[in-house]
Structure 1
Amino acid sequence: MSTQAEGPRRVRVTSPRTSAARRPTAPAGTREIDEQTRLGEVYMHSLVQSQLRLALAVVACAAVVLGSLPLLFTLVPATRTLSLFGLPLPWLLLGIAVYPVVYVAARIYVRKAERIEAEFTEFVGRK
């Protein structure tokens, strides 16, 4: 015969996810940046410097391309009087051809800046 004095039977309750992987801790590089340590400052400085170099290179290339147009008009006098589609060539080049050059320079900058940021994120995530 069973006795009621023993009380209810104890049952052990566990989470079904006890064997699941623990949440990964933040990589050291990210932690350095978040905590604004000297190493984090070096990481951020290198990112800013890379983006600055890229910006200066893109602006310099665009300036060379666009700055060569007045030089072309000076060195080749026939270009000053040449007309295409009833419009003077200098007007066409300075008024219309400038925009595709600026657009291409902007596309190049955005793609390379995104690549720099992706590489930086990958690098910092590994540290």
Structure 2
Amino acid sequence: MIEPRRVRVVHPRTDAASRGPLPPAVPAEDAGTEVDEIYLRSLIRGQARLALLVVAATAVLLGGVAVLGAVWPAFDRTRIAGVPVAWLILGVAVYPLLISLAWLAVREAERNEDDFRSLTGRR
């Protein structure tokens, strides 16, 4: 009779945890200068400001539709070519505006990052 082999099953994270701390990704001699840190904080602030503007614009757009429905009682009963205006606004008008807003946000974020790269001399 053949004896079955015993296999020890170990989770990969257990092995990684027992190895100790990893060396830093960037060696100390290549670490950023104080100017690089200032530029990085500026980039983070710019990206955060952009994110807040996008969130505010989205809230105004979608909140405006909700306010329009609350202020104009005939909003859900008014029809254009047999289609309720509410559905036209929610289903047709809002999406191109949201897509345009997203496109502008991505373009501005990339512009911020390009400016950061040009200031720090990185590729």
Whether TM exceeds 0.5 here: the answer is yes
Q: How far does residue 92 in structure 1 lie from its aligned partner after superposition?
A: 1.9
RMSD, matched Cα: 2.2
Correspondence 1:66-105 to 2 at 5 A: 66-105=62-101
Give the 5 Å matches for 1:1-127: 34-125=30-121
CA contact (8 A) 2:36 2:120 kept: no
Task: Give the structure 2 partner of residue 17 of structure 1.
Answer: none
Quote how far apart the aligned CAs of 1:38 are. 4.6
Compute the displacement of 1:114 (Å).
1.4
Work out which of the two has the higher radius of gyration on C-alpha atoms and give 1 or 2.
1
The number of aligned residues is: 94
Using CA pairs below 8 Å that are at least 6 residues apart, which structure has the higher relative contact order? 1
CA displacement 1:71-108 (0-9 Å, x = unmatched): 11111222221012322111221223221111011111
In structure 1, stretches of 5+ residues that fail to align are 1-31
Instruction: Name the TM-score, length of structure 2 as normaliser.
Output: 0.65
Instruction: Give the TM-score of the pair, scaled to structure 1.
Output: 0.63
**What CA distance in whole angstroms lies between the structure 2 residues aligned with 1:38 and 1:101?**
41
Identity of counterpart residues, as a percentage? 44
**Using the alignment, how far apart are the partners of 2:42 and 2:107 within structure 1?**
18
Report the Cα offset of residue 116 of structure 1: 0.9
For the residues of structure 1 that align with 2:37 and 2:119, how far apart are their CA atoms?
Answer: 15
